[in-house]
Structure formats: structure tokens, C-alpha cells
A = this chain, B = another copy of it.
């Protein structure tokens, strides 16, 4: 059924496959928003922090490190004073971010449906 395409070296459905952690970094709570924000333009640390509403310094730092390690984000530190560091997407990061953004826009554009579904669900249960 699916085995004709299963000469894949990596299978994210398998527990210890390294691709799963990469997917989690990219789709995680802050990862997806960070990548999405960087799609339009490269940004500095605090610009990014303002754009991704609600992220703490710690989590943004952590998120950026994970994405940089996975080769999705490039850190460009310029040795000037005051220090200036720009974060931008790598080519691979751009591909990933593009798909993420497509998903984000799809969800944003269908929130009416989602909200309606939630109301229906809650009414069917709240009755009990």
C-alpha cells in the first residue's frame, strides 16, 4: 500500500528517527512563528521578539539555536559597536518556512469554520 514509496531513509513516524526532532523544531510552538516571521525579511533579535508576540528571551534564544543547528536559520553577527546580529533563513529554511506560512494562512483563513466547529462541539458536550 505504501511500501512502493518506502525506500525512504527517514521516517518521521518512527520513534527515534532524527527527522522527528527536526520537524518538532520547525513546527513547535515558537519554531513555526519564528520561521514565519523570518520569511519576509531578516530580523534582529529584538525585532524578532516583538514580531513573535509572547515569546520570552530564553525561548527565542533556544528556538534560534535549534533552528540554526538544523541548518534552517543563519546567524549573521557583525562585530560592530553596538553589536548587531541578523537572523535570516537558509535556502532550506526558506522552503520550510514557505510551507509553514501556507499552513498558517490556510488556518487563519478558515478560522470561522474552526470557531463554528468548536461551538458545536462544546454545545454537544456542555449539555451534559
Contacts and interface: CB of A to CB of B under 8 A. Distances in A.
Interface of A: 1-2, 8-15, 18-19, 22-24, 26-29, 32-33, 36-37, 40, 51-54, 68-71, 92, 95-96, 99-100, 102-104, 106-111, 113-118, 121-122
A95 B106 contact: yes
A71 B116 contact: yes
Contacts of A92: 110, 113-114
A40 B117 contact: no
B107 A19 contact: yes
Contacts of A103: 23, 26-27, 96, 99-100, 103
Contacts of A1: 40
Nearest to A90: B117
How many copies are assembled?
Answer: 2
Q: Which 6 A-B pairs rank lowest in CB-CB distance, beginning with the nearest?
A: A71-B117, A27-B27, A15-B54, A15-B53, A69-B121, A10-B108
A91 B96 CA distance: 24
Contacts of A24: 29
A109 B99 CA distance: 15
A117 B8 CA distance: 20
Contacts of A8: 108-109
